[in-house]
């Protein structure tokens, strides 16, 4: 029998400790895998093991844009690693969050339809790219308003979480807010735009008939922008997109008497595409004349570029019917009693309110694409 020297004895002890740690880790990992139930929630074992990501309590693009966009950027970074893995390493079932994190929606006290649509788009993108859904925690303990809105939007279906709203139309989700399940598609689709027009009219039929036609035309123009501008071959995306895909929804707030239409894509953004469209000189001239800023020298001028795009009447492809057409989107607002068009694209923000001078802003964090929002008040 080999004599136990102090050094050999220490090695045996260390080996035994490592073996025990390995057995414990294997047992915990097996428990983690079982911790994801078929309804999409995570068990207490998983919750205790992982570290939560806490979304902002006020998940609203109007009141808390910087914090929400910062959270979304962190979310994209976190889960891009799963998308980057070779497909052969992806197995059916949930990704291994045991050494990672989960998003705890219990922290959200309020969420707006626009912010909820972007969140749904991120979860939908992950599901489509990886053939597996992300999961959630304690969905039964979410804020009732937040859960109701996300149920109506169709977000819980992305998580395989049970819904209890009864009907699939989303109309009676909340006593104060009616919301449509989000729609997602590729490129321009007149049929989907027409169906969406009918659903919005069913959601709220208090607008003149011409307003619903202008809504249809605005949605078609937003789809055209995605088809011809949002996902160019020359752009290298930081986060893997789904080419030509967009998302949209509609909501009616009874208390505020406000109709809200939201369209979102994860493309290159208006400021990302406009300088490549052949109008750099025109953009520079407009920004200098209107804002007294030098394009390319001053700091981020994304908002100013959106404003320039609103003014351009020519097309970026020199083909009739393929222009940015953003100015056309103002018609729905201008022909209403009171309304607002808001465009968030990359770091920029452009707000057109009926009867007022446009507002242009630039923000620290990118929205991760382009969001177009129409707010119509009775």
pLDDT in tens, 163-193: 554 444 444 456 789 999 999 999 999 999 9
In this structure, the answer to whether residues 137 and 91 fall within a common structural domain is yes
Per-residue pLDDT, 200: 96
Q: Does 11 map to a domain? A: no
Domain match, 313 and 268 both: yes
Looking at per-residue pLDDT, the higher value among 240 and 23 belongs to: 240
23 vs 29: CA distance, rounded Å: 10
Residues 161 and 226 in one domain: no
pLDDT band at 160 (very low <50, low <70, confident <90, very high): confident
Domain shared by 335 and 229, yes or no: yes
* Sequence-ordered list of residues with C-beta below 8 angstroms from that of 18, at least 6 positions apart, any chain: none
210, 185 contact by CB (below 8 A): no
Which are the contacts of 49, defined by CB distance < 8 A and separation ≥ 6? 28, 32, 98
**Residues with Cβ within 8 Å of residue 282, at least 6 apart in sequence:** 308, 312
Instruction: Clarify whether residues 243 and 194 are in a common domain.
Output: yes
| Tokens read off for 377 | 């008040």
The band of 30, judged by pLDDT with boundaries at 50, 70 and 90, is low
The count of structural domains within the chain is 2
User: Is residue 28 within 8 Å of 49, Cβ to Cβ?
Assistant: yes
Q: Is residue 315 part of a domain?
A: yes
The answer to whether residues 159 and 184 belong to one domain is no
Domain identity same for 70 and 213: no
Residue 21 counted as domain residue: no
Count of CB atoms within 10 A of residue 162's CB?
13
CATH of the domain at 206: 3.30.565.10
Domain that holds residue 93: 48-168
Q: Is residue 336 part of a domain?
A: yes
Residue with tokens 């001078």, as numbered in its chain: 357
Q: What is the pTM of this model?
A: 0.82
Distance, in Å, from the CA atom of 143 to the CA atom of 59, rounded to the nearest integer, reads 12
């Amino acid at each position: 029998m080999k004599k136990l020297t102090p050094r050999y004895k220490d090695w045996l002890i260390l080996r035994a400790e490592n073996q025990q740690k390995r057995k414990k880790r294997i047992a915990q990992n097996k428990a983690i895998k079982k911790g994801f139930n078929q309804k999409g929630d995570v068990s207490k074992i998983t919750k205790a093991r992982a570290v939560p990501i806490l979304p902002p309590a006020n998940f609203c693009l109007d009141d808390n844009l910087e914090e929400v966009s910062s959270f979304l950027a962190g979310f994209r970074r976190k889960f891009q690693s799963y998308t980057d893995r070779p497909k052969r390493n992806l197995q059916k079932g949930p990704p291994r969050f045991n050494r990672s994190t989960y998003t705890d929606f219990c922290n959200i006290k309020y969420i707006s339809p626009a912010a909820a649509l972007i969140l749904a788009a991120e979860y939908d993108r992950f599901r489509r790219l990886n053939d597996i859904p992300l999961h959630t925690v304690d969905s039964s303990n979410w804020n009732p308003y937040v859960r109701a809105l996300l149920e109506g939007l169709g977000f819980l279906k992305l998580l395989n979480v049970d819904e209890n709203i009864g009907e699939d139309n989303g109309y009676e989700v909340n006593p104060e807010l009616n919301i449509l399940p989000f729609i997602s598609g590729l490129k321009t689709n007149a049929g989907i735009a027409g169906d969406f027009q009918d659903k919005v009219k069913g959601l709220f039929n208090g607008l003149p008939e011409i307003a619903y036609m202008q809504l249809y035309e605005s949605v078609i123009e937003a789809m055209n922008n995605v088809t011809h501008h949002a996902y160019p071959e020359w752009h290298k995306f930081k986060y893997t997109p789904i080419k030509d895909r967009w998302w949209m929804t509609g909501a009616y707030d009874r208390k505020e008497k406000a109709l809200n239409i939201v369209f979102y894509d994860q493309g290159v953004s208006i400021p990302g595409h406009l300088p490549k469209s052949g109008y750099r000189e025109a953009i520079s001239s407009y920004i200098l004349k209107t804002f007294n800023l030098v394009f390319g020298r001053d700091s981020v001028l994304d908002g100013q570029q959106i404003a320039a795009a609103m003014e351009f009447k020519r097309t970026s492809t020199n083909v009739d019917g393929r222009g940015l057409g953003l100015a056309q989107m103002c018609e729905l607002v201008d022909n209403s009693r009171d309304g607002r068009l808001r465009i968030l694209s990359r770091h920029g923000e452009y707000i057109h309110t009926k009867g007022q001078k446009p507002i242009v802003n630039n923000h620290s964090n990118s929205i991760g694409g382009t969001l177009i929002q129409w707010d119509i008040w009775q």
